[in-house]
Structure 1
Amino acid sequence: MPFTLRLHRVLKAPPERIYRAFTDPAAMCKWLPPHGFTGTMHHMDPRVGGSWRMSFTNLAAGAQHTFGGEYLELQPGSRLRYTSRFDDVNLPGEMVTTIELKPVFCGTEMQVTQEGIPDVIPEAACHLGWQESLLLLTQLVEPDMPG
Structure 2
Amino acid sequence: MTEIETDQTKLTVEPDTRAIEIRRGFDAPREQVFEAYVDPDRIPDWWGPRRYETIVDEMDARPGGQWRFVSRDDEGNEYGFRGVYHDVVAPERIVQTWEFEGSPGDVSLETATFEDVDGRTRMTAQSVFQTVEARDANAESGMQEGARETWERLAELVEESETGREA
Q: Which amino acid aligns with 1:109?
A: R
Question: Equivalent pairs: percent with the same residue?
Answer: 24
Question: Which residue of the other structure, out of 54, 63, 69, is the alignment partner of 2:83?
Answer: 69
Q: Say if 2:45 is the partner of 1:33.
A: no
Offset at 1:91? Answer: 5.1
Question: Which residue of the other structure, out of 59, 62, 70, is the alignment partner of 1:47?
Answer: 62
Offset at 1:5? Answer: 2.1
Question: Which residue of the other structure, out of 140, 145, 150, is the alignment partner of 1:133?
Answer: 150
Offset at 1:4? Answer: 2.8
Aligned partners of 1:70 and 1:37: how far apart in 2?
23
- Asked if the contact 1:32/1:133 (under 8 Å) is kept, the reply is yes
Offset at 1:35? Answer: 2.6
Count of matched residue pairs: 145
- Corresponding position of 1:102: 115
What is the CA deviation profile of residues 90-138 of structure 1, one whole-angstrom value per residue up to 9, with x for unaligned ones? 4541111111111011411111112228454452600110000000000
- Corresponding position of 2:96: 82
In the alignment, structure 1 segments of 5+ residues that lack a partner are: none
Offset at 1:16? Answer: 0.7
Q: Which has the higher contact order (CA 8 A, sep 6+)?
A: 1
Offset at 1:57? Answer: 1.1
Structure 1 residue matching 2:50: 3-state secondary structure = coil
Offset at 1:141? Answer: 0.6
CA RMSD of aligned residues (A): 2.3
TM-score normalised by structure 1 residue count: 0.87
Q: Say if 2:126 is the partner of 1:116.
A: no
Q: Say if 2:39 is the partner of 1:14.
A: no
In the alignment, structure 2 segments of 5+ residues that lack a partner are: 1-16
- Asked if the contact 2:48/2:147 (under 8 Å) is kept, the reply is no
- Asked if the contact 2:66/2:85 (under 8 Å) is kept, the reply is yes
Structure number with the higher helix fraction is: 2
Aligned partners of 1:76 and 1:127: how far apart in 2?
26
Q: Which amino acid aligns with 2:45?
A: K
TM-score normalised by structure 2 residue count: 0.78
